[in-house]
Structure 1
Amino acid sequence: MSLSTTVKQLGLIPKSVTKYVQNTIYSPLLLTFFIISLSACQLQNHQLRPTGDLGVIIGRATGSIQIVNTTQQEPLAKVDKLGDLSHASVVFSRDQRYAYIFARDGGLTKIDLLQDRIDHRIIQSGNSIGGAISQNGKWIAVSNYTPGGIKIFSADTLELVADITATPLSTNTEKKVIYSKVVGLVDAPGNRFVFSLFDTNEIWVADYINHDNNEEWKVKKYPKIGKQPYDALITPNGRYYIAGLFGESGFALLDLWHLEKGVKQILPNYNKNKRTLPVYKMPHLEGWAMAGHYAFVPAVGQHNILVIDTERWQQIATIPVHGQPVFAVARPDGRQVWVNFAYPNNNTIQVINTETYQVVHQFMPGQAALHMSFTPKGEQLWLSVRDSNEVQVYDPTTFKKLAAFSVDSPSGIFFTSRAHQIGL
């Protein structure tokens, strides 16, 4: 194989230059020098960076994301034209190179975190609410409000693989069928996707089946799981899927190890006759803090965090807090839970000790402090303060502010370590 052919296959030189090399008498030494020089120029434009050290911050108002470095605690690049990010979420490829952005306007965007650019982008529905990536990293699923259901795409090309339509509700005046909204979509072990149907009170499990190269997605349906499941989570070990119920008190639980047992309701009385406060922002169930075999759960319509024993699925304690909690985020070692709040108390953060159930620290980073995320080993807590257009970084041991930098209307914070966690 000639040196020029090798150069062409490696993609080190543009096609026009490769053609010139192939048709020119050259010395191997001169060509080698030329390759090294050109490669150095390319690396200067896109310097090598470790994917495990990266993160993505949603710019809610600008339809953009900020790629950040967690060791240096600084922004690296901005990627624009990502659509309506008012309720955006992110998952990552197995190699942590690509971020998949789920936009509220139905946009699905694959971003190359090393090239700081859009790799693929499609509009897959009229209104979507989040997504997930399969255990093997091959498929991206998106949950949709309009039309209701989930769509599954190739993680590589974003080509449609499956379209699973939700339960139909009715026909509107234009004789178009209306389908149930889908919420609480997560990935589960075995390359499954699990999700809830808000309007028809169901949980569905989509299972990938391949028999003799005949590929299909089979769906197992669980009806009458409780009124209006509004969000859901899967426990870190991938065993339990839990849907929160807006239309009644309690949660619906599905044991993914024993699907034959069906769905059972847990904590049926935790909020009975207590929802007297207006709910300004619904807690996200993915914001449950799992510390050991205990879950620290924001209570809907209450100024409380509930402590739940996940072995017996019973409430064992109630922790009074500053306002209506939205997210309860556990430090990776499980020793602390950081809590933020809905309006009008969304300028405050409280830190709970998981041994004593006491609030051990409280501070006010600014108005609309709504999203938090720990770095993988828990040495930093990143916090978005939307109304100040700022991201702040804290030491969770000393509570000292380590860094702060500007981001336009920052919202969700997602680190690439999520690529190796179930349900995130």
Structure 2
Amino acid sequence: MLSGTAALADTVATGDLGLVIERATGSVLLIDQSERAALERIEGLGDLSHASLVYSPDERFAYVFGRDGGLTKVDLVEREIAARVVQAGNAIGGAISDDGELVAVSNYEPGGVRIFDADTLEMVADIPTGSKTIGLVDAPGRRFVFSLWDAGETWIADMSGGAPEITKIAGVGENPYDALVTGNGRTYIAGLFGEDGLTALDLWDDTPEPMGVLPGYGRGEAPLPVYKMPHLEGWALAGEEFVLPAVGRHEVLWVDARDFTETARTQTHGQPVFAMARPDGRQVWVNFAHPLNDTVQVIDTVTKEVVHSFQPGPAVLHMEFTARGHEVWISVRDAGKVLVYDTQTFEKLGEIAADSPSGIFFTARAHRTGL
């Protein structure tokens, strides 16, 4: 038990919990939202320098994807590692099926996607691609969707029949580096590193065809050095518009979610990494790449203007909203803190000590497609 944390009853409801990745020490910090406190540090998860996680439908288990290829199942009730496998040499995220029975991991080395039984972590499918895989998300119907960095393709793996049935979509674009899926599971958007623009797929279509989004949006401009790739998992859907971080530019892009045309741009403090919508869609919170990563800006989605800017501390890496958006939790790696703010007043409400914190993940994610 961590000293100085909130006193615990015999039972803590899982809906009030979350995990913070402690990237330098291979540990995760179990946190209580209502108490704004740390409950336990769970160690032994390997290399978490670029880690993410998903939750089981009952919110009890987290599946943590480590950079070293480790897949770790963490029990939030018992506060311990329930199972762990090192399934590849270099992994880059994962997803859980809509029924919660399968966990998929995308790999850089040896490439491809491997799928595991969520209960036992036994491998049930190995999908070689001959490429680094990125942008792995779940989709309705026990499907997983992912893109191939080297080949410029997106694949759909349908696991509804047990063995994977693969649909390959070519012509996605040069070097897709990350992707998102909308909450209804219909639209998959891949960001492109090798060219200006993005590519969308309609997953409700029996034969999805690539649709260009903002092709050549930076044409005629001198590109800036890219210090950190933006994360499309940190996308925003505010009303009928997507808000997307622009690669190598000090701006976010507004895109009509119906026809994928550009509607506006908002100039920002630096190169955006995450552009995240408050759950009600009224605000977008943005953090930035090095060397301007001490700052967070808040954009009003009606005016599309920056309405608040502040400096939580050195190396702001991630933000997470509570389920209804009344608070935002921000990890400040080089200050060794997670800070909590009121999203209406911007008042600081609390802080939690953490060892090089990065990703923050609340259990409400268990009930959202793509998270």
- The alpha-carbon deviation at position 209 of structure 1 amounts to 3.7
Q: Which moved more, 1:238-247 or 1:266-275?
A: 266-275
Q: Which amino acid aligns with 1:300?
A: V
- Which runs of structure 2 are paired with 1:160-309 in the superposition (5 Å)? 160-166=123-129, 179-210=130-161, 215-309=162-256
After superposition, what is the alpha-carbon deviation per residue over 1:190-236, rounded to whole angstroms, capped at 9, x for unaligned? Answer: 110000000011100000243xxxx3110000122110101101011
Is 1:140 the equivalent of 2:91? no
8 Å contact from structure 2 (residues 155, 167) kept in 1: yes
Q: Which runs of 5+ in 1 are unaligned?
A: 1-43, 167-178
Deviation, structure 1 residue 292: 1.3
The separation in 1 between residues aligned to 2:254 and 2:135, in whole angstroms, is 21
- Is the 1:46–1:114 Cα contact (8 Å) retained in structure 2? no
Out of 318, 322, 333, the residue aligned to residue 386 of structure 1 is 333
Q: Deviations over 1:299-337 (max 9, x none)?
A: 111111111110111110010111111101111111111
Q: Which residue matches 2:354?
A: 407
Q: Which residue of 2 aligns with 1:337?
A: 284
Uncovered stretches (5+) of structure 2, i.e. residues with no partner? 1-6
| Aligned residue pairs, count | 365
Change over 3 Å in CA distance of 1:226–1:116 after alignment to 2: same
**TM alignment of 1:57-68, pairs within 5 A:** 57-68=20-31
Distance 1:385 1:273 in 2: 36
Report if aligned partners of 1:275, 1:300 keep a CA contact under 8 Å in 2.
Answer: no
Amino acid at match of 1:298: P
For 1:15, the equivalent position in structure 2 comes to: none
Q: Is structure 2 residue 56 aligned with structure 1 residue 109?
A: no
CA RMSD of aligned residues (A): 1.2
Asked if the contact 2:169/2:208 (under 8 Å) is kept, the reply is no
Q: Residues of 1 paired with 2:105 and 2:60: CA distance? A: 20
2:34 aligned to 65, 68, 71, which one? 71
Q: Deviations over 1:171-200 (max 9, x none)?
A: xxxxxxxx2100000000111000000001
User: Take 2:62 and 2:10, find their aligned partners in 1: how far apart are those partners?
Assistant: 18
Deviation at 1:46, TM superposition (A): 8.5
- State the secondary structure of the residue aligned to 1:260: coil
Q: Tell me the equivalent position of 1:159.
A: 122
Residue 419 of structure 1 aligns to a residue in which SS? helix
Contact 1:274 1:302 (C-alpha < 8 Å) held by counterparts? no
Deviation at 1:47, TM superposition (A): 2.4
Aligned counterparts of 1:267 and 1:322: Cα–Cα separation in 2 = 22
Aligned-pair distance for 1:271? 2.2
Report how far residue 267 of structure 1 moved.
1.1
The normalised TM-score by structure 2 is 0.96
Equivalent in 279, 300, 306 of residue 353 of structure 1: 300
Could you tell me how far apart the structure 2 residues matched to 1:355 and 1:188 are? 30
- Which residue identity lines up with residue 305 of structure 2 in the other structure? Q
Q: What stretches of structure 1 move > 2 A for 4+ residues in a row?
A: 44-47, 271-275
Q: 8 Å contact 1:281–1:326 — kept in the other structure? A: yes
How far apart in 1 are the matches of 2:8 and 2:330? 30
Name the counterpart of 1:149: 112
Shift, 1:269, TM fit: 2.2
Verify the 8 A CA contact 2:143 2:160 in the aligned structure 1: no
TM-score of the aligned structures, taking structure 1 as reference length: 0.85
Question: Is the aligned partner of 1:118 residue 2:81?
Answer: yes
Q: Which has the higher contact order (CA 8 A, sep 6+)?
A: 2
Matches of 2:201 and 2:251 in 1, distance apart?
A: 25
1:279 positional shift: 0.5
> Secondary structure at the residue paired with 2:233?
helix
Which of 28, 43, 47 is the equivalent residue of 1:84?
47
The structure whose Rg is larger is: 1
Tell me the percent identity: 56
